[in-house]
Amino acid sequence: MKKIYLYGNWKMNMLPEEGEEFCRSLADRISGRLYGSDCVDICLFPPFLAIPAVLKALPAGPVSAGAQDGYFEDRGAFTGAVSMAMVRSVGCSHVLVGHSERRHIFGETNEVVARKLEKALNSGLKTVLCFGETLEEREGGKTIQVVQDQLLSAFQSVPEVRARDLVLAYEPVWAIGTGKNASPDDAQEVCAFAAKLALEAFGSGSLIPVLYGGSVKDSNAAELLSRQDIHGALVGGASLKVDSFLAIYENYRKAFAG
Ligand code: PGA
């Protein structure tokens, strides 16, 4: 049975004390065989200011924490920005780059995402590169082209030795926070395409997981996670409560692993 990546993007939610409480209740729930590190890899992405509290309260087991973003410069006059070195220095092991909210609300281009990816990987962070098409692009039959452009421009900046720290997350923009998820077949098709591009770019030595994100919840998790090229979920809304977050993994296990 494949290992499942269960990554929770809290976005701009959770005060430090709420993050701490989440970790306490997570700790109560994840002891035992079901949560062995060979079965599941859990990572929480709190807002910057809640990261220290979450790291302090992080339960033992296959659980880590990362930042939702980081800038490509190391230091200097970049008001409001946080560098990848800073993310690393507080103890984060992971970072997200290229989330669609960064691309579409904050105007990040493929070039900016590529620079952030390079800096993140060179800083020793496991880096989740998010990509995905808008509704207009999907309806115009451009999904594969858009995804290819996003991935290939980012892959160019990946230092070869760091490719093993890369994780991909396919998140169709129209499925994020809308309650609409891609059908398992559509999600599988794009994730398989991403896996193929990654294999061509980095070879089979670096097995790069591909996650699906966009309105993942307990009721659709089993179907999505059972697909061959979907190795896990990047979860927004449903990651804010321990029960709904863990139910995603547990429902998959129940349905397909007994
Ligand atoms: P959602 O968010 O699960 O609330 O749709 C996913 C994401 O943006 O990572």
pLDDT at residue 256, rounded to an integer = 78
Minimum CA distance residue for ligand 1 atom 9: 236
Residue 27 buriedness (CB in 10 A; 0-12 / 13-18 / 19+): middle
- Using the atom order of ligand 1, give the atom closest to the CA of residue 216: 3
DSSP line for 135-165: HHHHHTT-HHHHHHHHHHHHHTTS-GGGGGG
pLDDT at residue 257, rounded to an integer = 66
Q: Per DSSP, which regions of 54-207 are E strands?
A: 63-67, 94-97, 126-131, 166-170
Minimum CA distance residue for ligand 1 atom 1: 236
Residue 258 has pLDDT above 60, yes or no: no
- Using the atom order of ligand 1, give the atom closest to the CA of residue 213: 6
Provide the annotated active-site residues: 99, 171
Domains of the chain from N-terminus onward? 4-256 (3.20.20.70)
* Cα of 76 from ligand 1 centre, angstroms: 32
Nearest to 64 by CA among 97, 30, 33: 30
Residue 24 host element (H or E): helix 16-29
* Cα of 171 from ligand 1 centre, angstroms: 8
Nearest to 99 by CA among 182, 9, 163: 9
CA distance 112 to 99: 12
What spatial distance separates the first Cα and last Cα of the chain, rounded to whole Å?
11
Strands 4-9 and 126-131: unpaired
Residues with CB under 6 A from ligand 1: 9, 171, 176-177, 213-216, 234-238
pLDDT at residue 207, rounded to an integer = 86
CA dihedral 10, 16, 18, 24 (to 10 degrees): 100
Whether residue 10 contacts residue 239, with contact meaning beta carbons closer than 8 Å, is answered with yes
> How confident is the model over 208-240, as pLDDT tens digits?
999 999 999 999 999 999 999 999 999 999 999
* Cα of 75 from ligand 1 centre, angstroms: 30
> How confident is the model over 53-84, as pLDDT tens digits?
999 999 988 999 999 999 999 999 999 999 99
Minimum CA distance residue for ligand 1 atom 3: 236
Whether residue 64 contacts residue 43, with contact meaning beta carbons closer than 8 Å, is answered with yes
Minimum CA distance residue for ligand 1 atom 2: 236
> How confident is the model over 122-173, as pLDDT tens digits?
999 999 999 999 999 999 999 999 999 999 999 999 988 899 999 999 999 9
* Cα of 5 from ligand 1 centre, angstroms: 15
Average pLDDT of span 17-33: 93
